[in-house]
Chains A and B, each alone.
Chain A
Amino acid sequence: MLAQQLVNGVLLGAGYALFALGFTLMFGVLRVINLTYGFYFSAGAFVALFLTRDFGFSIWTALPLAAMAAGAMAVVLDWLLLARLRRRGAPELASLMVTLGGVLALYAASTAILGPDIRRLPPGLIAGAPFELFGLRVTMAQLLILLASLVLVGALVWLLHGTRLGLAIRAMAEKPDAAGLMGIDTGRIAALVSFVSGCLAGAGGVLIGLNFNAIHPYMGETMMLRGFVVVIVGGLGDIRGALIAGLALGVVEVLTAGYVDSGLKEAVAFAILVAVLWTRPSGLFGRPEMRRA
């Protein structure tokens, strides 16, 4: 039974980790706590819902398309809300408030348009019956989550550490001015980072929506709280920390729900957050730079 819970926890945590990776990337490079980030999670889930339900796409094509749509939204919103503040070197509080205002408007508008109720993905989208694997019950949806998470994390690590573009991203994360002096167009890198982060959030939204088969406009907001837990525990801007902390949070939530009380799982997450901040104010693993993957 414990093994089964661990599997479920890791798969849930994979979705959390994807979401948190994008958040920590955005924070680490653009240095702003962007509260609109949770919205891309909801957006990804909804785009996947529309694509599969109304346009007959398979989940395999809907997932990348939805992720990219969320990434595109992140680029546009970053450009609308934050680019001018960044150029002027505005204080962090200004950026924070702008994104707070932005995200409240986005949620209100999307709820007004889409309605507040919980939507289900079309039945038969992915083979529903669980099957046995090494004595554990897994669903096709869970395998998809695992596969997609591995691919996305691998792609992110490759981008950051295997390409010249990734080198520019890491340089800009550390010293934006010096990066500009080297000829790096920091505005374009900011757009790229927004896109990649938005893709990760959107993919997380699709996968978590699939995991629980529940999609609603505010799903990104509750995720945002978890995103904070994972990113702060893992260390702001720390890729490896976000990965470990995301998986751990999934496991902790599933174990809490299984052995204690499912109503307590969020409380446990926040207890961990507070305990970590008290003892290690800069996170369990880290420094606020994109040094490691």
Chain B
Amino acid sequence: MSLLAVERLVVAYGRTAAVKGIDLTVAEGQVVCLIGANGAGKTTLMRALSGLLRPQSGRILFGGTDITGFSAHRIAALGMRHVPEGRQIFAGLTVAENLSVGAWLEQVPAERARRQEQVLARFPRLRERLSQLAGSMSGGEQQMLALGRALMGAPRRLLLDEPSMGLAPLFVEEIFAIIADLRREGRTILLVEQNASAALEVADVAYVLETGRIVLQGKAAEVAHDPAVVAAYLGG
């Protein structure tokens, strides 16, 4: 059985639907990537999955529970973390405070400290900047913080919305290396990426979204060789 199942999901802003009846499944331990042009509805779908948007119709099942219409904090409590588009770090808080907010649901201080150590081991750059205001860091560092903050919740499932957006090539490489690590650790990941070739490389399964609808789905390796995908997304 799939861990996350989306059934005929419709999400609208006012009267205009941005997600127009999507079916999608993610199995435990898989990396599923979602590619599509600007405005295709990728972010809208992610925000509905994490409870930031209320779907107009359809269902979202997570580990067998119907979470349609749940608010964001309840979905977070089920062990899912959404790293939103544009990072959305708390710019006015320090790096350490951002990480601490990420572990909000963890009541045991020793466990929070242990997780912070793990995150800092993964992102050594953040260690020197713990007391710095998050907003004063570079874009790449902020993306590391956004990922680190999500990992402070020790999530088994991650929604990553364009983690490499706007980053220098070196940072992009680092981000994809981290995604590969997270996958090896057995975490389930739904990944939205503009960088389609790198995303298809790290993913097991891929979906192609066009104006709110799934137009293609399959094994990532196969989708990567689809002529239409090559032409539209892989610069072929």
A residues at B contact (CB < 8 Å): 164, 167-168, 170-171, 174-175, 177-187, 289-291
Task: Establish whether residues B88 and A178, one from each chain, have CB atoms under 8 Å apart when the complex forms.
Answer: yes
Q: Known: A168-B104, A182-B101. Is A177-B90 also a contact (CB below 8 A)?
A: no
Task: Establish whether residues B52 and A177, one from each chain, have CB atoms under 8 Å apart when the complex forms.
Answer: yes
A187 to B71, CA, bound (A): 10
Task: Establish whether residues B52 and A181, one from each chain, have CB atoms under 8 Å apart when the complex forms.
Answer: yes
- Interfacial chain A residues near B50, Cβ < 8 Å: 181
Task: Establish whether residues A178 and B90, one from each chain, have CB atoms under 8 Å apart when the complex forms.
Answer: yes
Given A182-B105, A186-B72, 20 more pairs with CB closer than 8 A? A164-B100, A167-B100, A170-B92, A171-B97, A171-B101, A174-B90, A175-B90, A177-B72, A180-B71, A181-B52, A181-B72, A181-B76, A182-B101, A183-B73, A183-B105, A183-B153, A184-B73, A184-B101, A184-B104, A185-B71
Task: Establish whether residues A182 and B71, one from each chain, have CB atoms under 8 Å apart when the complex forms.
Answer: no
Identify B91's interface contact among A167, A168, A174, CB under 8 A. A174
Task: Establish whether residues B73 and A186, one from each chain, have CB atoms under 8 Å apart when the complex forms.
Answer: yes
- Interfacial chain A residues near B55, Cβ < 8 Å: none
Q: List 20 A-B contacts (CB under 8 A).
A: A164-B100, A167-B97, A167-B100, A168-B101, A170-B92, A174-B91, A174-B92, A174-B93, A177-B88, A181-B81, A181-B82, A181-B84, A182-B149, A183-B73, A183-B76, A184-B104, A185-B71, A185-B73, A186-B72, A289-B92
Task: Establish whether residues A178 and B76, one from each chain, have CB atoms under 8 Å apart when the complex forms.
Answer: no
Q: Please classify the interface of chain B as helix (H, G, I), strand (E, B), loop, or mixed, using the class held by over half of its residues.
A: loop
Q: Which of A164, A179, A180 has the most CB of B within 10 A?
A: A180
Flag whether B51 is at the interface (Cβ < 8 A).
yes
Task: Establish whether residues A182 and B104, one from each chain, have CB atoms under 8 Å apart when the complex forms.
Answer: yes
A170 to B100, CA, bound (A): 12
B residues at A contact (CB < 8 Å): 50-52, 71-73, 76-77, 81-82, 84, 88-93, 97, 100-102, 104-105, 149, 153
A127 to B93, CA, bound (A): 46
Q: Can you name the residue of chain A whose Cβ is closest to the Cβ of B83?
A: A181
- A168: shortest Cβ distance to chain B, in Å? 6
Q: Please classify the interface of chain A as helix (H, G, I), strand (E, B), loop, or mixed, using the class held by over half of its residues.
A: helix
- Interfacial chain A residues near B100, Cβ < 8 Å: 164, 167
A290 to B149, CA, bound (A): 20
A175 to B98, CA, bound (A): 12
- Interfacial chain B residues near A181, Cβ < 8 Å: 50, 52, 72, 76, 81-82, 84, 88
- Interfacial chain B residues near A170, Cβ < 8 Å: 90, 92-93, 97
- B112: shortest Cβ distance to chain A, in Å? 10
Q: Known: A164-B100, A167-B101, A168-B104. Is A180-B90 also a contact (CB below 8 A)?
A: no
Task: Establish whether residues A291 and B92, one from each chain, have CB atoms under 8 Å apart when the complex forms.
Answer: yes
- Interfacial chain A residues near B97, Cβ < 8 Å: 167, 170-171
A289 to B90, CA, bound (A): 11
- B221: shortest Cβ distance to chain A, in Å? 32
A164 to B106, CA, bound (A): 11
- A162: shortest Cβ distance to chain B, in Å? 12
- A165: shortest Cβ distance to chain B, in Å? 10
- Interfacial chain A residues near B52, Cβ < 8 Å: 177, 180-181
Task: Establish whether residues B51 and A180, one from each chain, have CB atoms under 8 Å apart when the complex forms.
Answer: yes
Q: Can you name the residue of chain A whose Cβ is closest to the Cβ of B133?
A: A291
A178 to B93, CA, bound (A): 13
- Interfacial chain A residues near B153, Cβ < 8 Å: 182-183
Identify B73's interface contact among A171, A180, A289, A291, CB under 8 A. A180
Q: Can you name the residue of chain B whose Cβ is closest to the Cβ of A290?
A: B92
- Interfacial chain B residues near A179, Cβ < 8 Å: 101
- Interfacial chain A residues near B104, Cβ < 8 Å: 164, 168, 182-184
- B149: shortest Cβ distance to chain A, in Å? 7
A180 to B81, CA, bound (A): 10
- A185: shortest Cβ distance to chain B, in Å? 5
A171 to B84, CA, bound (A): 15
- B86: shortest Cβ distance to chain A, in Å? 10
- Interfacial chain A residues near B92, Cβ < 8 Å: 170, 174, 289-291
- A289: shortest Cβ distance to chain B, in Å? 5
A177 to B90, CA, bound (A): 11
- B108: shortest Cβ distance to chain A, in Å? 12
A289 to B72, CA, bound (A): 23
Q: Known: A174-B93, A177-B52. Is A183-B88 also a contact (CB below 8 A)?
A: no
A167 to B82, CA, bound (A): 20
